């Protein structure tokens, strides 16, 4: 049994002998969506117990041919009394009037000024001072050359270490396989620490 109307600012409530009828939101998705849009309430989601009263429907929405007044199947509520605060004003940005600015006419601008402005707009990444740009390029080239030299030195060291490591590895393999026979005196005079130091240096 309905108790009240779900429309905004509507005070209609169900009474036994009242001429106002109450109508449940339709279950059909499209019509239900139309009703919700017409109600125009934020975050509004009607349930099975949500009703609208007959004051929000035009007379043509009702079928009065039978003993009871029925709402037509395609009826959509359209009669609502929305107050001003229910529809807050949306402030749109004001258009900038021509009188708000006082630019210098293009006809009075020197030709070279127009050319410079156009060039700066097309190449806004360029430096304003050519000499500063040249110094910057020279500095970057110098840093790049230093970096290349360091890389070359590191690669040379890497090759030397690899050669020493391979030589040491071959020596160890030969000792393991018995290809090299060392006397006790030879073992004592073999400066292993010196060899390892050279490999790691």
Higher-pLDDT residue of 158 and 105 is: 158
Q: Which pLDDT value is given to residue 57?
A: 92
109 lies in a domain?
Answer: no
Other Cβ atoms closer than 10 A to 38: 15
Higher-pLDDT residue of 129 and 144 is: 144
Question: Which pTM value belongs to this model?
Answer: 0.39
pLDDT digits (tens, 9 = 90+) for 69-86: 888 888 999 888 876 545
Assigned token pair, 53: 């009263």
Range(s) of the domain holding residue 154: 144-199
Boundary (domain end) residue, out of 61, 81, 101: 81
Number of compact structural domains in the chain: 2
108 lies in a domain?
Answer: no
Boundary (domain end) residue, out of 81, 113, 136: 81
pLDDT digits (tens, 9 = 90+) for 106-127: 454 455 554 555 554 444 444 5
Is it the case that residue 145 has pLDDT exceeding 90? yes
Is it the case that residue 128 has pLDDT exceeding 70? no
4 lies in a domain?
Answer: yes
48 lies in a domain?
Answer: yes
Q: Which pLDDT value is given to residue 105?
A: 53
**What value does the mean pLDDT take over residues 179-183?**
56
Tell me how far apart the alpha carbons of residues 117 and 155 are, in angstroms, rounded to a whole number.
Answer: 50
127 lies in a domain?
Answer: no
Residue 115 burial (C-beta neighbours within 10 Å; 0-12, 13-18, 19+): exposed
Q: How confident is the model at residue 173 (pLDDT cuts 50, 70, 90)?
A: confident
**What value does the mean pLDDT take over residues 95-109?**
51
Q: Which pLDDT value is given to residue 172?
A: 82
Most confident of 102-116, 144-158, 183-197: 144-158
Residue 106 CB contacts under 8 Å (≥ 6 apart), including other chains: 114
31 lies in a domain?
Answer: yes
Distances in whole angstroms, Cα of residue 172 to Cα of each of 159, 166, 176 = 20, 10, 6
63 lies in a domain?
Answer: yes
Is it the case that residue 88 has pLDDT exceeding 60? no
pLDDT digits (tens, 9 = 90+) for 1-28: 667 888 888 888 888 878 888 888 999 9
117 lies in a domain?
Answer: no
Q: Which pLDDT value is given to residue 201?
A: 59
| Helix-helix angle 192-200:130-177, to 10 degrees | 150
Higher-pLDDT residue of 137 and 192 is: 137
């Amino acid at each position: 049994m309905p108790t009240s109307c779900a429309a905004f600012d509507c005070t209609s409530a169900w009474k036994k002998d009242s001429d106002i009828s109450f109508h449940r939101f339709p279950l059909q998705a499209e019509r239900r969506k139309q009703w919700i849009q017409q109600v125009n309430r934020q975050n509004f989601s009607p349930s099975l117990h949500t009703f609208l009263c007959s004051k929000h429907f035009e007379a043509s929405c009702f079928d009065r041919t039978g003993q009871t007044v029925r709402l037509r199947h395609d009826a959509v509520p359209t009669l609502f009394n929305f107050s001003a605060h229910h529809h807050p004003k949306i402030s749109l940005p004001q258009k900038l009037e021509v009188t708000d600015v006082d630019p210098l006419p293009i006809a009075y601008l020197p030709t070279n000024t127009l050319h410079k402005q156009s060039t700066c707009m097309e190449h806004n990444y360029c430096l304003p001072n050519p000499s500063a740009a040249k110094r910057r390029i020279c500095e970057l080239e110098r840093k790049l050359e230093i970096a290349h030299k360091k890389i070359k030195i590191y690669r040379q060291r890497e090759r030397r270490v690899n050669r020493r490591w391979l030589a040491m590895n071959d020596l160890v393999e030969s000792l393991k396989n018995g290809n090299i026979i060392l006397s006790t005196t030879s073992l004592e005079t073999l400066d292993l620490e010196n060899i390892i130091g050279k490999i790691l240096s």
